[in-house]
């Protein structure tokens, strides 16, 4: 037989090499991408989480312009040092609260404009910081997270290249077939949820890498002025004039928005450099029919309308850039879209978890078993949600916040991975699953003890329902795994 006929087919070689690329990226970056997938799935509910963490805050469907102005001026007046920004966050359907924010503090406002409690949602802040920056310094963290988005994009591309039977296998699912079941689960979910995880990885990478790209472009063509790169998209800032001046009109622009744009929802009022001669006003209004996060509506100091920036009706570039944030975070279609993102997010976590399980399984089949690495992967899969649940419970006590939560999370995860050098992957999985269940029960108990049934069923009821659903799911998973173990023991 000649050597020509023994050569593997070109397509088989392509698949093998694509799989190599796929596993190389997954092995190196899998754990960090998994952290982003889990935290990203939870971050979709960040407004509900904020509400759940502080159920006693005053709630309202709307606030009058005069009351908003009164509250904003009261908070601004209480500042020890001049704040460079003054924000009013208006009530939204998933967060029906008014919050006045400065550079250093944030307070809830009552409907009459009086000031209520200080805003405090330590666990949601911890979660968002983990998703945005992996708890690293701002720009560095954003860039690393953006780079991980790129790696997820690379995984999608190499996965597609490694899948020549994409149409023939479109609905194939072999049940109870060991590794083949895992392969089918991984491939079917990856292919059918591709529009979601591709767009999510891409928008996440764009958001994360925007800063360093702006640095590069500014260095190349704008004398290192990064503002000049983005100002044609988001609007520029006027020259700073720090001379003292009366605070700009707040109620008048809000009234103008209500009267002139009744179809839009004012989401934020921003007063830049308040109380200075260079101050200027912007209102970010959401467009309910669009994917964009909103548009900036600009006003002068006296509250006279000066026009919008153009995110909603400007150039194609402005409109596309304006949609990136919402596409990534899934906050463009209310609760139905958020629940869909939850399903897709869980699918993405499953894809990542099953992908590396397949890799380790293949290694075992090829006689290159890596039991310690496999157990470490199991520690990552179950340890990350377990530590998130424990930090959640710790934060709910009201005694643990900020850096303490970060330390608990990373040390706990490190301990779980260390255990992988002593325990089997099965034992790690059992401990991880039991810890998640125990953590959820603990969190719900602490919450119930602190806020009672009123808190559980009141403001935070959507999230309470989700947590109870998580509790039931974990119980089902644990009891199912326990039954399969018992069956395996009996058979053996």
Partner 1 sequence: MYEFVWPLLGTISAVFAVGLLYHSWTKRSRSWSHVLGGWFLAVISLVSWTQTSGIDKGPAKAIVAFILIVLAVLAVLAYRGPVKKRRDIEREATQVKEAGSGFKIWVLRGYNFVLLLLISGLAAMSISTAAFMAGRALSAEHTANLTVSMFLFPISWAIFSVTTGYVRQPLVKSVALCVFAILPAILIPALQ
Residues 441-480 that bind partner 1 (CB under 8 A): none
Closer to partner 1 by Cβ: residue 55 or 208? 208
The correct pick among 8, 77, 176, 246 for binding partner 1 (CB under 8 A) is: 176
Q: By CB under 8 A, is residue 161 in contact with partner 1? A: yes
Q: By CB under 8 A, is residue 267 in contact with partner 1? A: no
Residue 310: its H or E element:
none
The correct pick among 38, 72, 109, 206 for binding partner 1 (CB under 8 A) is: 206
Q: Which of residues 294-323 bind partner 1 (CB under 8 A)?
A: 314-321, 323
How far apart are alpha carbons 437 and 178 in whole angstroms?
26
Query: Segment near partner 1 (CB under 8 A), from 240-248, 357-365, 381-389, 481-489?
Result: 357-365
Closer to partner 1 by Cβ: residue 330 or 385? 330
Q: By CB under 8 A, is residue 15 in contact with partner 1? A: no
The correct pick among 12, 139, 240, 370 for binding partner 1 (CB under 8 A) is: 370
* Residues whose CB falls within 8 Å of the CB of residue 138, separated by 6 or more in sequence, listed in order: none
Query: Segment near partner 1 (CB under 8 A), from 119-127, 206-214, 349-357, 440-448?
Result: 206-214
Q: By CB under 8 A, is residue 178 in contact with partner 1? A: yes
Q: How far is the CB of 119 from partner 1 (least distance, A)?
A: 30
The correct pick among 158, 200, 279, 331 for binding partner 1 (CB under 8 A) is: 158
Question: In 10 A of CB 301, how many CB atoms?
Answer: 16
**CA 370 to mean position of chain CA atoms:** 32
**CA 423 to mean position of chain CA atoms:** 32
3-state secondary structure of 248: coil
Q: By CB under 8 A, is residue 186 in contact with partner 1? A: no
**Count of positions (residues) in the chain:** 492
Q: How far is the CB of 233 from partner 1 (least distance, A)?
A: 5
The correct pick among 15, 21, 408, 438 for binding partner 1 (CB under 8 A) is: 21
The correct pick among 287, 293, 309, 423 for binding partner 1 (CB under 8 A) is: 287
Question: In 10 A of CB 165, how many CB atoms?
Answer: 10
Nearest in space to 273 (alpha carbons), one of 487, 470, 86, 464: 86
- What would the DSSP string read from start to end of 399-440? S--THHHHHHHHHHHHHHHHHTTTS-HHHHHHHHHHHHHHHH
How far apart are alpha carbons 135 and 128 in whole angstroms?
9
- What would the DSSP string read from start to end of 103-118? SS-EEEE-TTS-EEEE
Q: Which of residues 219-238 bind partner 1 (CB under 8 A)?
A: 220-221, 229-230, 232-233
């Amino acid at each position: 037989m000649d050597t020509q006929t023994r050569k593997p087919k070109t397509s088989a070689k392509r698949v093998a090499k694509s799989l190599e690329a796929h596993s190389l990226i997954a092995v190196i970056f899998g754990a960090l991408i998994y952290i982003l997938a889990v935290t990203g799935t939870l971050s979709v509910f960040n407004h509900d989480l904020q509400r759940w963490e502080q159920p006693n805050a005053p709630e309202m469907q709307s606030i009058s312009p005069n009351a908003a102005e009164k509250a904003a001026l009261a908070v601004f007046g209480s500042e020890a040092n001049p704040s460079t920004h003054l924000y009013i966050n208006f009530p939204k359907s998933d967060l029906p609260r008014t919050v006045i924010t400065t550079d250093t503090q944030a307070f809830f406002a009552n409907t009459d404009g009086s000031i209520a409690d200080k805003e405090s949602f330590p666990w949601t802040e911890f979660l968002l910081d983990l998703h945005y920056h992996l708890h690293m310094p701002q720009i560095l963290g954003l860039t690393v997270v953006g780079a991980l988005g790129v790696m997820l994009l690379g995984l999608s591309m190499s996965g597609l290249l490694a899948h020549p039977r994409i149409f023939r296998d479109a609905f194939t699912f072999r049940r109870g077939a060991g590794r083949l079941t895992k392969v089918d689960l991984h491939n079917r979910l990856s292919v059918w949820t591709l529009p979601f995880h591709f767009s999510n990885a891409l928008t996440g990478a764009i958001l994360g890498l925007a800063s360093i790209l702006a640095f590069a472009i500014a260095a190349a063509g704008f004398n290192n002025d990064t503002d000049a790169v983005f100002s044609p998209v988001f609007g520029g800032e006027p020259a700073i004039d720090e001379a003292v001046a009366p605070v700009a009109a707040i109620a008048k622009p809000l009234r103008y928005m209500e009267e002139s744009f009744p179809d839009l929802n004012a989401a934020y009022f921003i007063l830049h450099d308040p109380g200075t001669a260079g101050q200027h006003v912007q209102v970010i209004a959401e467009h309910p029919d669009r994917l964009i996060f909103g548009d900036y509506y600009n006003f002068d100091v006296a509250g006279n309308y000066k026009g919008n920036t153009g995110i909603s009706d400007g150039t194609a570039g402005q409109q596309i850039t304006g949609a990136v944030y919402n596409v990534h975070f899934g906050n463009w279609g209310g609760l139905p879209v958020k629940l869909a993102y939850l399903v897709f997010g869980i699918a993405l976590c499953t894809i990542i978890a099953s992908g590396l399980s397949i890799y380790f399984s293949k290694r075992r089949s090829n006689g290159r078993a890596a039991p310690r690495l496999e157990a470490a992967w199991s520690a990552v899969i179950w340890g990350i949600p377990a530590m998130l649940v424990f930090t959640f419970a710790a934060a709910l006590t009201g005694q643990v916040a900020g850096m303490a939560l970060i330390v608990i999370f990373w040390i706990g995860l490190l301990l779980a991975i260390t255990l992988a050098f002593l325990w089997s992957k099965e034992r790690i999985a059992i401990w991880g699953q039991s810890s998640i269940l125990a953590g959820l029960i603990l969190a719900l108990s602490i919450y119930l003890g602190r806020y009672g049934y009123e808190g559980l069923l009141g403001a935070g009821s959507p999230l309470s329902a989700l947590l109870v659903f998580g509790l039931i799911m974990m119980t089902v998973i644990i009891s199912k795994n326990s039954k399969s173990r018992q069956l395996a023991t009996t058979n053996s």
